Structure 1
Amino acid sequence: MTESLHTDPDFSFLGKKIMEINSAIFKAEADQLLLPNNVISTLRVDVNGNIWFFSSCQKNVTPIYVTDFYSRLDYFNKEKSTRITVFGPAQIIPEMEAPDFVFGNVPQSLAERQVLLIRFKIEKAECYNLGRDEDDPWLQKLKANFQYWLFTGSGETRKLTFDLTK
């Protein structure tokens, strides 16, 4: 496996890849009775590294409204054999504090549908089997091609790791 560490200060590379795949499994390390694992659709990835999405919930999530909770998102695209796992803190955003871009995507009432708006801050991301996409950083393409010629052959698995905690 070819592995390398990257930064993505404006989240353009990660944001584009995440929006291409769009669907992920959301796993919160908060109380699973209140926030169960579920499949989400990404609304937006902003330039600050926040992923915005709706998640299903149980009726009373008031105890976890006030604090961030650590969670992960697993994106997978079977056609391209691409997987992105993203780790970081998430926060439930009350309906009255939702940003303007969300309003076109809001179900009639968040409370009636038992869904919550979640803002997830990307701290770390791992991208697997990205192939040789045209939007890969040029240095990464060069490095991957060189390593492919020397070491691996056709069964190469690539892993890009992004540490965005700084």
Structure 2
Amino acid sequence: MNTPTQLDFITSKISELQTAVFHSHSNSVLTLNPTVIRVLKIDDNGYIWFFVNRPVQAVTEFETQFPVALNFYKKGVPFFVNVFGIARIVIDPEELACAEIDNEISNGVLSDKLLLSVKMANVNYYEKEADVKKSWFSKLKKAVSEIFVPAEDFYYNPETQNDRHFA
């Protein structure tokens, strides 16, 4: 797969999930708390833009760039995505004026929110295994059979289970 196709795939999956748990991996004394975020946009350069609550401390006291993890998950969706990258606090008025951001983002910057952009460095995409639906009869049959012979005793391998004794 080439890079634009990969970015399109990742962007579509993240856009489908929309929310993630944000974790700062900074070693600094002042770090942003883990929180649930909602993606505002993903630009063509692979930056994920979102808000976090503005901390009580002065924003200028925080590192402007730090490593983060974003864990995207949504109940009922058969996949999840973990993103690792470098977050950057966007507070410079000139950068905000030059950035291609819409009204929602610019209005949020003026409120009690802090705008972050994360450059994706490593993305892990996982698909969940489909749940096998078993009938109540097969569950009952398995439960009754395990009463007489526990599941771990069905097979005996003398190389790995030397100390086990069967009744």
**TM-score w.r.t. structure 1 length?**
0.65
The higher radius of gyration belongs to: 2
Deviation, 1:32, is 7.3
d(CA) in 1 for partners of 2:121, 2:79 = 20
Structure with more strand by fraction: 1
2:16 maps to 1:20:
yes
Match of 1:117 among 92, 115, 118: 115
Counterpart position of 2:124: 126
Aligned-partner SS, 2:36:
strand
Question: After superposition, what is the alpha-carbon deviation per residue over 1:48-103, rounded to whole angstroms, capped at 9, x for unaligned?
Answer: 1110111113131212354x200010000211232100001110011522223243
Q: Unpaired runs of 5+ in structure 2?
A: 133-167
After TM superposition, the runs of 4+ consecutive aligned structure 1 residues lying more than 4 A away are 31-34
- The one-letter amino acid of 2:104's match is G
Counterpart position of 1:48: 45
Counting matched residue pairs gives 125
Relative contact order higher in (CA < 8 Å, ≥ 6 apart) = 1
Q: Unpaired runs of 5+ in structure 1?
A: 1-6, 132-153, 157-166
- The one-letter amino acid of 1:117's match is L
d(CA) in 1 for partners of 2:105, 2:54 = 17
Aligned-partner SS, 1:123:
strand
Q: Percent identity?
A: 27
Structure with more helix by fraction: 2
